[in-house]
A and B are shown apart, each in its own frame.
Chain A
Amino acid sequence: MILHPAVLSLMTMSLLAGIMVLLAGAVGVRILFSWNIKSGSELQLSLERQTYLVSTILAYTFVFQILSLFLYIYTADNLHGLFVGAMCAAGTLNVNEYGYPVLLLKIVNFLLAGTWLIVNYADTRGYDYPLIRAKYALLLLIAPLVLFEAYEQYRYFSGLHADIITSCCGALFSQDTRNISGDIAALPARPMAIAFFAAMTATLVSGHLFYWKGRGGWLFSAVSLVAFLVGVASLISFISLYIYELPTHHCPFCCLQEEYGYIGYALYATLLGGAVTGLGTGVLMPWRNRGSMKQVIPQLQRTLTLVTVILYLLFTLIVLYRIKFSALTLGW
């Protein structure tokens, strides 16, 4: 266990988020079982009040959750000096088997949390709580994941032991037995680049279709999710090469550093933001024409689609900009 201030702050944060989500989950279970909008009973009244509590809790939790994703990467990067062979966050996360799963959980939780907030937004716009059950069912999926993330994060940090000088000999001998590889398996650049631009174009086209004609919402959402995955893979496969101007460096974390002008934040913010809004568009599809949602969801979906397309477009533009002005030229 490393008693680093950032580690302590991440653990505190996870603990708080865990408690809060647990609380929200408990309310969620009661709502799922006892919700009856037609009833005027005291229970129903108190449940209606508690929905405010749950939305507030989750809004805060999710904002902090997003921040903790970046703090986690930053901390991993900051700690790399403590481990033999770790060059950046990629190496630190590889120190034990929990590092990458935690990162993955943080990203998944981020996407789910963002989607939840979108559903919640739509729900509060309707007078008859049309999405309430779906919303709380989704919450019951998120809550265990957030708790699991907190647990895994604890396992990760408690399993970190710095390689420091001991009294008998240098820590040297740990070096022969174990080597933390910071290498990230990357897909071949050329096919990946084709897939990347194809996915982005597909998102643009399907988004255009959905925005103007109101058709193909499912398709758009699915395509944007695929584009997100392809985007992440491309970041590792070929975009990173242009950022670092090195044909062998595939690290997805170094670009968050000052040396690269914090370009990584712009890349991840646009990509993750686009993924959330794209996902949100799809999740809202089943309620598109139901009850009071007729006036709300189509309009909201249009906005979400527009945001997705703009964010992905920005991402692509940043990538193109890097490729154009990079000192590296790949022989395609």
Chain B
Amino acid sequence: MNRTIERHKNILEFSLSSLLRRKTKNASLLAIYTLIVFAIASLLFFLSAMKREALLILKDAPDMVVQRMEAGRQDLVPLSYAKEIAALRGVREVKPRLWGYYYDSPSGGNLTVMTAEMPAGFIKIGSGVSRLRRATAADVIVLQSYDNEVPLMLEIEEVLPYESELAAADLVIMSELDFRKLFKFPQGHATDLALTVANPRELSTLAGKIVDKFPDARPILKSEMLRTYDSIFDWRGGMMLVMMIAAVLSFIIFAWDRATGLSAEERKEIGILKSIGWETSDVLLLKFWEGAVISLSAFFFGVIAAYVHVYFFSAPLFQPVLKGWSVLYPQFKLVPAVDTYQLGVLFFLTVAPYTFATIIPCWRAATIDPDAAMRS
């Protein structure tokens, strides 16, 4: 046992010194390798952080949302629906929700307007809106109402705290009265209905009953929303990854080329090693350790750089593609969410191709005849 460990230790030492002897060549390989690991790791970290945020936001979503469709488009729900749905067995509560989007022409941003129990004339705004309108608590914001008469003057009661930034950056919360005034919203209607159900297992049965009763209703479950978000992020990440595969491929060709094109000096070195008694398997072991040193260094450097990129700087390189864009985009720091699973995936996507690309060149190098190698 000890002898085996000693052998590996000695060969590892030798391979480290041989790597150091060809500093520039190996440094460029390491740099490109690190870059590839960095790019893919950033992508994976960013995706998982975004998924986590989405999950957190949807945690408080209602069990089921019922919308009404008219000719295939979403329309307002009459409040009579709410009453009838509330009468279904298993429904604990039906809450008609009023919400909509307000296009703020001075700033060019889209605000999400929601209602809550609060005095008329007052609003709460998200920090994004506060930045956009340069207004804070006790300031007055003017919104243009739909009936073209008087603009709505609303006093800011509170700017929502920073923790809710991701969910609430573009949010404006106002009273029902102001909401109906702002959008000329018809009485007796709501945007959609939020359902709370006593037993989550009955959700699908209830949804079926609702559709039976109101064929124009479209029930959406919370689990469906979660699933959709998840697959959207997976899909976006996968698309990015497919694009990156081109980069990985060119890296593999580069690595293959590097490993194949042995310099005369390296060939001589292997020739000498073999003539002083190294076996083919020893040279292969040497090559294995060289590859392992390069791969692991690149892996660690790449992962650390990606961690800094994503969690300290919020992934400036990927944001536009993966997050989507908007005038009023929340500013937020991602919370680190790294696990062994991601690292495993990353390992498979980077180290495995590199390793396979270098097997054959390494074998070729290891099986050179000593005399031919030294003579060349």
From the candidates A12, A83, A170, name the one contacting B353 in the complex (CB within 8 A).
Answer: A12
A81 touches B219 (CB 8 A): no
Neighbouring B residues of A6 by C-beta, 8 Å:
341, 345
From the candidates A12, A81, A167, A169, name the one contacting B349 in the complex (CB within 8 A).
Answer: A12
Neighbouring A residues of B220 by C-beta, 8 Å:
165, 170
B349 touches A53 (CB 8 A): no
Chain B proximity mask over A15-32: 1 for CB below 8 Å, otherwise 0: 010011000000000000
Neighbouring B residues of A16 by C-beta, 8 Å:
352-353, 356
Chain A proximity mask over B276-297: 1 for CB below 8 Å, otherwise 0: 0000110010000000000000
Q: Cα distance A2–B231 when bound, in Å? A: 8
From the candidates A68, A124, A170, name the one contacting B207 in the complex (CB within 8 A).
Answer: A170
Chain B residue nearest to A74 in the complex (CB): B341
Give how many B residues have a beta carbon under 8 Å from the other chain's beta carbons. Answer: 48
Interface status of B98 (Cβ within 8 A of chain A): no
Neighbouring B residues of A12 by C-beta, 8 Å:
348-349, 352-353
Chain A's nearest CB lies how many Å from the CB of B98? 22
**Most B-side CB within 10 Å, residue of A12, A172, A175:** A172
A9 touches B239 (CB 8 A): no
Q: Which of B331-356 contact A (CB under 8 A)?
A: 341, 344-349, 352-353, 355-356
Q: Cα distance A165–B220 when bound, in Å? A: 8
Interface status of A263 (Cβ within 8 A of chain B): no
Given known pairs A52-B363, A56-B359, A74-B341, the reply for A9 and B349 (CB within 8 Å) is yes
Q: Cα distance A12–B251 when bound, in Å? A: 15
A interface majority secondary structure: helix
Interface status of B188 (Cβ within 8 A of chain A): no
Chain B's nearest CB lies how many Å from the CB of A100? 21
**Most B-side CB within 10 Å, residue of A60, A83, A124, A167:** A60
A3 touches B227 (CB 8 A): no
From the candidates B47, B218, B353, name the one contacting A5 in the complex (CB within 8 A).
Answer: B47
B interface majority secondary structure: helix
From the candidates A5, A64, A171, name the one contacting B224 in the complex (CB within 8 A).
Answer: A171
Chain B proximity mask over A41-52: 1 for CB below 8 Å, otherwise 0: 000000001001
Chain A proximity mask over B232-266: 1 for CB below 8 Å, otherwise 0: 00110111011001000000000000000000000
Chain A's nearest CB lies how many Å from the CB of B74? 10
Neighbouring A residues of B154 by C-beta, 8 Å:
none
Chain A's nearest CB lies how many Å from the CB of B242? 7
From the candidates B43, B204, B345, B355, name the one contacting A71 in the complex (CB within 8 A).
Answer: B345
B219 touches A3 (CB 8 A): no
A8 touches B207 (CB 8 A): no
Q: Cα distance A83–B230 when bound, in Å? A: 11
B241 touches A2 (CB 8 A): no
Q: Which of A101-126 contact B (CB under 8 A)?
A: 124
Q: Cα distance A81–B356 when bound, in Å? A: 33
Interface status of B151 (Cβ within 8 A of chain A): no
Q: Cα distance A303–B76 when bound, in Å? A: 75
Q: Cα distance A7–B241 when bound, in Å? A: 11
A170 touches B238 (CB 8 A): no
Given known pairs A53-B360, A124-B281, A172-B208, the reply for A71 and B344 (CB within 8 Å) is yes
A81 touches B230 (CB 8 A): yes
Q: Give 4 A-B pairs besides A9-B349, A81-B226, A167-B72 with Cβ atoms closer than 8 angstroms.
A: A6-B341, A13-B348, A164-B224, A172-B207
- Chain B interfacial positions (CB closer than 8 Å to A): 43-44, 47, 72, 204, 207-208, 211, 218-221, 223-228, 230-231, 234-235, 237-239, 241-242, 245, 280-281, 284, 341, 344-349, 352-353, 355-356, 359-360, 362-363, 366-367
A-B contact pairs, 22 of them (CB 8 A): A3-B235, A4-B234, A5-B43, A5-B241, A8-B242, A9-B345, A9-B348, A57-B359, A71-B344, A74-B341, A81-B226, A82-B227, A82-B230, A82-B234, A162-B231, A165-B224, A170-B221, A170-B224, A171-B227, A172-B211, A172-B221, A176-B204
Give me the 7 closest cross-chain CB pairs, A-B, nearest first.
Answer: A3-B238, A9-B348, A164-B228, A162-B231, A53-B363, A4-B234, A49-B367
